Chain A
Amino acid sequence: MVNILLVCSAGMSTSALVKKMQDSAAERGIDAKIWAVGGVHAENAQRDADVVMLGPQVSYLLDQMKGMVDEGKPVAVIDMLSYGRINGAKVLDDALALADRKV
């Protein structure tokens, strides 16, 4: 089970990506919980996450998020084109790679 949290400004634009990532995970038989929140709610939400990924439009929150998350939890900005083209499979790959690096 891997928990992937996506953070954007209001959690709206990212919700489409979440859906695609969930589809991709289901297709591959990966047990994953993927959800999106707005930046305001990131602090609480990160507690349940293994990986935190920021939408490119809030990349300026990266340092703040890194300070906010629990020790050693990976935080990264989602690749811009994958985000814009709602490429769920690619972002899921990136998230899984990040989660593995942690262990």
Chain B
Amino acid sequence: MEKLTKWLEEHFVPVAAKIGSQKHLVAVRDSFIAILPVTMTGSVAVLFNAIFRDLMAENALNLPAVADAMKWLITIDGDVWWGTVAMFALMFTFSIGYHVARVYNVNEIAGGLISTAAYIVITPQTANATLDIAEGTTLNQSAIDAITASGGTADATSITLGAWGNLNNHYLDANGLFTALIFGLIVTVAFSKMMNANLTIKLPESVPPAVSGAFAAIIPGAIVLFGAGLVNYVLAMIHDANPEIPSAFADLVTKYIQQPFLGASQGLGWVVLITFMIHLLWFFGLHGTNILSAVLDGTYLPALFENNAVWEATKSTADMPYIWTRGSFDAFVWQGGAGCAITILIAILIFSKREDYRTIGKLATPMSAFNICEPVVFGLPIVLNPLFLIPWILVPCVLAVTGWFAAFIGFVPPVYIQVPWIIPPIINGFMATGFAWQAIVISVINLAIGIAIWSVFIIIANRMAAKEFAEGVDAEQVPEQAGA
């Protein structure tokens, strides 16, 4: 055990630390953090609708009077949702441009704007609208022919027309996130490198600095945006030659990267592997959730918002594409903070005879109730404590398995509402699933499993402390040594 810990400390921790401070990953992580106020507001709007519209509906509590009285709020919610969750990728594309520019030390606003402009350059400019013909009437063949000849498509019961000058929110919401992330990174890195290479217009000394500053970004900006246009042009040519290949960059990314990636992320193996990695990092005292946030948020957050879009469209959890999303981890795996910390504290408060543990138990429980795990991780400590390595990693992995199976068999509906991570255990999952009672059941079961496993190790710790006491070692010193 000691050898393994030492080996990991020498080989794994430096790599993890490098990942944690790798500048492009830092930019991605900060981009997600920066749009949090926007996505969180959108989630509040969704939450209000879940309460006042969906919970009051006929098939739920059946309180139409409440729903009617709150109609004004439901309308406002819809608009807020449109400006936030439905524009997720658009917001992100600015955010990533801004943060990449920042790590390269070039003008951040310029980076954000270039990234946004480039994203719009590659986004289709035509949106299709479908008109369903009212029941009881149908289109005759001459009407269908006339519509087809004018560039639309039609059959007996519907007409579809494309109109230029529209952005389709399909490209601007979570669907477009991978595109925004990949394209935003490439575009802004290229822009920043050209800025730093001084590929800029040099104006004579006599020109005021403010004026020459405005000119500085022109050449890099133009190269990047024309480059984006060229990508679009080439893709259209490829599409003409082979209609199988989508012409929009975003569709290409969705088809060949996003869908396979998100599809794979839904497997139990990935969910457990990510859980395992995060807790291994925490065992070495590193903020695992933070270090892996590019993967965690990059993969599971779009899944959450795609579920969310399905909810808005169908008002049902039945057709949601993803069973496991970003919030599923918070709701079912690390309740009370990393390691399902609240279960450690409960096990301590019930079983521990060690004064130092009980002190931490009392000190850390109020914080763990809001999912803050640091007092447990560093105060107990968990860090580099050989006795606790096994339960620390085992418990969250087991909870990931039970949580995943509950979602897989369809017992608990998928998480589709983003709730702030400080929302306490049990309530967290209840809210995140749009008030599904099944989420409470799974949360409680998982807490019970965590407490049961931890109790075993807390009792072992009691015995070890007793033995050390008998041998004349001050029990108070044990965690000090383990943490040193």
Interface residues of A (CB under 8 A from B): 8-9, 12-13, 16, 38-40, 55-61, 63-64, 80-81, 83-86
Instruction: Return chain A residues, CB-CB under 8 Å to B323.
Output: none
Task: Decide if the interface of chain A is mainly helix, strand, loop or mixed.
Answer: helix
Bound CA span A1–B276, Å: 45
**B372 adjacent to A60 (CB under 8 Å):** no
Q: Which residues of A contact B480 (CB under 8 A)?
A: 81
Question: In the complex, what residue of chain B is closest to A83 when comparing beta carbons?
Answer: B378
B378/A60 in contact, CB under 8 A? no
B367 lies within 8 A of chain A by Cβ: yes
- CB neighbours (8 Å) of B483 from chain A are 80-81
B285 to chain A: which residues have CB within 8 Å?
A: 56-57, 59, 80
Give the CA-CA distance A60 to B282 in the complex, in Å.
12
Q: Are B21 and A85 in contact (CB under 8 A)?
A: no
Residues from chain A with a CB closer than 8 A to the CB of B376 are 84
Of B56-64, B145-153, B227-235, B286-294, the one touching chain A = B286-294
8 Å CB contact of B290 from A9, A63, A81, A83: A9
Pairwise interchain contact B287-A9, C-beta atoms closer than 8 A: yes
B34 at the interface (CB under 8 A from A): yes
Contact assessment for A60 and B381 in the assembled complex, using a CB-CB cutoff below 8 Å: no
- Asked if residues A61 and B20 are in contact (CB atoms below 8 Å), the reply is yes
Asked whether A40 lies within 8 Å of B287 as measured between CB atoms, the reply is no
CB distance from A13 to the nearest CB of B (A): 4
B301 within 8 Å of A by Cβ? no
Q: Does B422 contact A (CB under 8 A)?
A: yes
Asked whether B479 lies within 8 Å of A57 as measured between CB atoms, the reply is no
**Are the C-beta atoms of B374 and A57 separated by less than 8 Å?**
yes
What does DSSP make chain B's interface, helix, strand, loop or mixed? helix
- The answer to whether B17 and A60 have CB atoms under 8 Å apart is yes
Q: Which residues of A contact B360 (CB under 8 A)?
A: 84-85
B183 to chain A, nearest CB (A): 23
A84 x B380 contact (CB < 8 A) = yes
A12 cross-chain contacts in B, Cβ below 8 A: 370, 372, 422
Complex formed: what's the CA distance from A8 to B480 in Å?
22
B379 touches A13 (CB 8 A): no
For this complex, into which size category does the number of interface residues on chain B fall? 35 or more
User: Is B17 in contact with A13, judged by CB distance below 8 angstroms?
Assistant: no
Q: Which residues of A contact B363 (CB under 8 A)?
A: 85-86
Q: Contact at B422–A60, with CB atoms within 8 Å?
A: no
Which residue in A13, A40, A55, A64 is a CB contact (below 8 Å) of B21?
A: A64
Cβ-closest 9 pairs across A and B:
A84-B379, A84-B378, A60-B17, A57-B287, A13-B374, A60-B20, A85-B379, A80-B378, A9-B290
A and B contact pairs by CB, cutoff 8 A, 10 listed = A38-B33, A40-B34, A56-B285, A60-B20, A61-B20, A64-B21, A81-B480, A84-B380, A85-B378, A85-B379
> B383 within 8 Å of A by Cβ?
yes
Query: Which residues from chain A contact B20 at a C-beta distance below 8 Å?
Result: 58, 60-61
Contact B291 A60 (CB under 8 A): yes
**Is B377 touching A16 in the complex (CB atoms < 8 A)?**
no
Q: What separation, in Å, do the CA atoms of A83 and B287 have in the docked complex?
A: 14
Whether A81 contacts B479 by the Cβ 8 Å rule is: yes
Q: Nearest Cβ in chain B — how far from A90, in angstroms?
A: 12
User: With A12-B422, A60-B16, A80-B383 in contact, is A85–B287 under 8 Å at CB?
Assistant: no
**Do the beta carbons of A84 and B367 come within 8 Å of each other?**
no
**Complex CA–CA separation, A98 to B413 (angstroms):** 52
Q: Using Cβ atoms and an 8 Å threshold, which residues of chain B touch A86?
A: 363, 375, 379
Q: Which of B346-382 contact A (CB under 8 A)?
A: 359-360, 363, 367, 370, 372-381
> What is the 8 Å Cβ interface bit string for chain B, positions 7-39, against chain A (1 contact, 0 not)?
000000000111011000010001001100000
In the bound complex, what is the Cα–Cα distance between A9 and B374 (angstroms)? 11
Q: Is B30 a contact partner of A80 (Cβ separation < 8 A)?
A: no
Most buried by A among B16, B360, B370, B378: B378
Smallest CB-CB separation from B293: which chain A residue?
A9
> In the bound complex, do residue B375 and residue A58 qualify as a contact, i.e. CB atoms below 8 Å apart?
no
**Which residue of chain A is the closest to B16 with respect to CB atoms?**
A60
Are A57 and B377 in contact (CB-based, < 8 A)? yes
Mask, B204-216, CB within 8 Å of A = 1, is 0000000000000
| B291 and A84 contacting across the interface, CB-CB below 8 Å | no
A85–B376 alpha-carbon span in the complex (Å): 8
Give B373's nearest chain A residue, CB to CB: A13
Least distance between B133 CB and chain A CB atoms (Å): 53
Alpha-carbon gap, A9 to B286, bound state (A) = 11
For the complex, give the distance between the alpha carbons of A96 and B20 in Å. Answer: 29
Q: Judging by beta carbons under 8 Å apart, are A84 and B287 in contact? A: no
Residues of chain A within 8 A (CB-CB) of B286 are 57, 59-60
Tell me the bound Cα distance from A60 to B26 in angstroms.
12
* Alpha-carbon separation in the docked complex, A26 to B290 (Å): 33
B287 CB contacts on chain A under 8 angstroms: 9, 57-58
- Shortest distance between the CB of A48 and any CB in chain B (Å): 20
For window 373-395 of B, CB contacts with A under 8 Å fall at 373-381, 383
